[in-house]
Amino acid sequence: MLELIGISKKYKDKTALASVSLTLENGIYGLLGPNGAGKSTLMNIITGNLKPDSGTVKWNGEDMRSLGASYRSLLGYAPQQQGMYDSFTGKRFLSYMAALKGIAKKDMTAEIQRVLAYVNMSEAADRTIGTYSGGMKQRILIAQAVLGNPKLIILDEPTAGLDPKERVRIRKKLEELSDNRIILVSTHVVSDIESIAKEILLIQAGRIIDHENVGELCRKYQVSCLEDVYMKLFGEEEQDVSSYLV
């Protein structure tokens, strides 16, 4: 169980998060909101990359800060593409990430093969990342996020740059993982999360303005689908992110 208790964060005079409290249990959660709503700040606090000004993150009742390395070992995080090593092959990059996660050398080869197959990248594993398309880079980032079978997976725009078939494939794979772990997915592609999310977290101006399953949200806002909820609240159409990372 992941608990966020009164999480607040400011950047100078801008409030990024205002006393956010949530409890997440096993399953997939969609984090939806307009640009600048606080999604990235929230994810970076959960992953420990950013300290809140106030509030606490707890894992199974224990403060994330006191858990230290044991918390990081149960965490998988795929940010939007940044800081990748273009001269590394896909396999070398995953080996590097596996070492950082503390995966034993004797288990490393089999684990890397497993996650490469998971994202359909086995055949491209020996190519350098600099030769990958945007979608291939995105799949490698997802692969490193699931290394070591983490119990908490945070994904930021995971389907950006993927073709429609791969988007469907990754969606199904995430659903398969969700029975015994928490998966938080931030996305602008509403259709990628609508059919698999246990609950949708709607965030605006640093506050969680609603959190419910898709059916309840549609009934509450008197619309037929999650995209219409998004439009009604935020006035934005679902974004096509397939061209972001070409």
Domain of 212, CATH number, reads 3.40.50.300
Of 203, 226, 233, the closest CA to residue 4 belongs to 203
Whether the CB-CB separation of 140 and 94 falls below 8 Å is answered with yes
Model pLDDT, residue 5: 98
Of 103, 97, 137, the closest CA to residue 121 belongs to 137
Model pLDDT, residue 107: 96
Model pLDDT, residue 170: 87
pTM of the model: 0.91
Q: Let me know whether 27 and 138 are in one domain.
A: no
Task: Decide if 35 is inside a domain.
Answer: yes
211 vs 3, 29, 104, 126, 154, CA distance in Å?
14, 9, 39, 42, 17
Whether the CB-CB separation of 57 and 7 falls below 8 Å is answered with yes
Please give the residue range of the domain that contains residue 192.
1-74+157-246
pLDDT score of 239 more than 50: no
pLDDT score of 150 more than 70: yes
Model pLDDT, residue 189: 85
Task: Decide if 79 is inside a domain.
Answer: no
Q: Let me know whether 38 and 118 are in one domain.
A: no
Q: What is the mean pLDDT of residues 60-88?
A: 89
Q: Let me know whether 58 and 135 are in one domain.
A: no
Model pLDDT, residue 228: 95
pLDDT score of 165 more than 50: yes
pLDDT score of 159 more than 90: no
pLDDT (tens digit, 9 = 90+) per residue, 92-145? 999 999 998 889 999 999 999 999 999 999 999 999 999 999 889 989 999 999
Q: Is 6 helix (H, G, I), strand (E, B) or coil?
A: strand
Domain end marker among 150, 168, 195: 150
Q: How many domains does the chain have?
A: 2
Q: Let me know whether 170 and 99 are in one domain.
A: no
Q: Give, as one character, the DSSP assignment of residue 2.
A: E
Q: Give, as one character, the DSSP assignment of residue 120.
A: T
Q: Give, as one character, the DSSP assignment of residue 79.
A: P
Q: Let me know whether 124 and 70 are in one domain.
A: no
Model pLDDT, residue 246: 29
What's the mean pLDDT when you consider all of the chain?
91
pLDDT band, very low/low/confident/very high, at 81 (cuts 50, 70, 90)? low
Model pLDDT, residue 223: 96
pLDDT band, very low/low/confident/very high, at 233 (cuts 50, 70, 90)? very high
Strand 54-59 relative to strand 2-11, pairing = antiparallel
Whether the CB-CB separation of 121 and 142 falls below 8 Å is answered with no
Q: What is the mean pLDDT of residues 223-241?
A: 79
